[in-house]
Amino acid sequence: MMHLQLRTELDLETYLEPSLVACCDGSIHARNRAAHLALSPQTSISSLFDICSGRAEALRTYLIRCSGSRQPLIEKVSFNGEGGAFDYRCFGNALVPRRKSRPASLLLRLLPVRDARFAARAECMKRLRTERHWRLAMEQSAELRSDRLRLVEQYCFVAEALRVAEAQNRRLQDEIKHIRTDERERIAQDLHDHAGQEMALVLVELRRMRDAAHGPARARLNDLAVHVSEVGRKIHHAVVGGRPRIVEELGLSRAIEITAVWFTTDGRLDLSFKKKGVESDALPAALESALYRVAQEALTNALRHALGAQKIDIVLEFNCQSVSLTIADDGVGLSTEAQQQGELGSSGIGLRGMQQRMNGIGGTLQIGPRFGKGTIVTAVAPLRPEPQQSAPP
């Protein structure tokens, strides 16, 4: 019937201490002789609550806990017996688990509080529980240390991979910059070695023919020689100025500021340069080159064509999505015809060339009258230009 083979009352006699079989509702099914003598020997009892001299709710809670525990539970209880109430240390464990049809059956062994056997057993169980808890805590601590070491290793691996990727990116940026510089130098060298030399030979021949000619032919040849000399000068200017090395060495804002200072060194114009925002160290090379060339062209136009101008204001603004450049003078302003023709600028680029440079990087260029008087040039370049869509046929 029961888990520990306690089928009759005589089976409880194997325990020397008072022992009984009860349910979690307090009803007593069986008890041994020691329990009969210790707990009200003169009368028959049917429930533990009839002889409980302490708190009944505490005893009821203890019985319920015993019915659901796989390990013996120890609790101090007080029962009335012959001669008064006595305190016991009760060892309780479930004999038959609780089921829907009936409550659990419990084996309760009562040891007097002053019993040395109980003290030794309790101390042993306490030590076992302490050792088990300590061992479990050590195992959990070891698992946490292992997890921590694994996370540290993963972090170090990711950090090293990021460092390698950043180093590779810097190396690729340097290689691209060197390739771009070498290509510009090659093109400039080709212009200098071939076109420049051919122009020099043509100029020498024209001057020789001019010196040998007389009358109107001499004047005509002289005009051609001047024109060829001017073309050669422009080629030389393209070779020297075609590579904005100053931008690569100083950065966009510093290069524009120094160039503007150089344009106004004669003292005819006052310069105001303002930089807003934080300049990124990784601006696209095409963006830097285009904005610098637009600044050069706008400064050239202001210096040569802004009649009556006394001041030039330059504002270079950086934000997370674009870079804007504004150059304004207080001269007489541009005529509508000049804006339409796009003929300003000594280098032949003019307004149309400035517009083409900004279109090439997906930016915008606006040139118009300044509030009050003068001309204002505004160039805006996105940091990530959108791919240009081809026009429909």
Residue where one domain finishes, among candidates 114, 133, 161: 114
State residue 377's pLDDT score: 92
**Domain count within the chain:** 2
Would 209 be classed as within a structural domain? Answer: no
State residue 165's pLDDT score: 92
State residue 177's pLDDT score: 67
State residue 363's pLDDT score: 92
What is the domain extent for residue 109?
A: 9-114
pLDDT confidence tier of residue 185, bands split at 50, 70 and 90: low
HSE (CB half, 13 Å, CA atoms) of 258? 11
216 vs 67: CA distance, rounded Å: 131
Decide: 305 and 324 in contact? Cβ < 8 Å.
no
State residue 115's pLDDT score: 53
Other CB atoms within a 10 A radius of the CB of residue 25 amount to 14
Q: Name residue 325's beta-bridge partners.
A: 316, 379
State residue 170's pLDDT score: 83
Would 4 be classed as within a structural domain? Answer: no
Residue where one domain finishes, among candidates 81, 99, 114: 114
Q: What is the mean pLDDT of the chain?
A: 78
State residue 327's pLDDT score: 92
Rg (C-alpha) for the chain, rounded Å, is 51
Would 193 be classed as within a structural domain? Answer: no
Q: By percentage, how much of the chain surpasses pLDDT 90?
A: 9
Would 370 be classed as within a structural domain? Answer: yes
334 vs 253: CA distance, rounded Å: 26
Decide: 339 and 376 in contact? Cβ < 8 Å.
no
The mean per-residue pLDDT over the stretch 74-88 comes to 83
Would 161 be classed as within a structural domain? Answer: no
pTM summary value: 0.40
pLDDT at 1 over 50: no
> Which phi and psi (to 5°) does residue 45 adopt?
-120, 145
103 vs 107: CA distance, rounded Å: 13
CATH of the domain at 289: 3.30.565.10
Would 284 be classed as within a structural domain? Answer: yes
Interval 133-181: pLDDT, tens: 888 888 888 889 889 889 999 999 999 999 999 988 888 887 786 677 6
pLDDT confidence tier of residue 8, bands split at 50, 70 and 90: low
Would 254 be classed as within a structural domain? Answer: yes
CATH of the domain at 96: 3.30.450.20
pLDDT confidence tier of residue 381, bands split at 50, 70 and 90: very high
Interval 260-319: pLDDT, tens: 887 776 667 788 899 998 888 778 878 888 898 898 888 877 777 666 778 889 999 998
Residue where one domain finishes, among candidates 93, 114, 135: 114
The mean per-residue pLDDT over the stretch 321-346 comes to 66
- The tokens for 365 are 């260029």
pLDDT confidence tier of residue 379, bands split at 50, 70 and 90: very high
169-192 burial by CB neighbour count: b if 16+ within 10 A, else e?
eeeeeeeeeeeeeeeeeeebeeee
pLDDT at 98 over 60: yes
Would 89 be classed as within a structural domain? Answer: yes
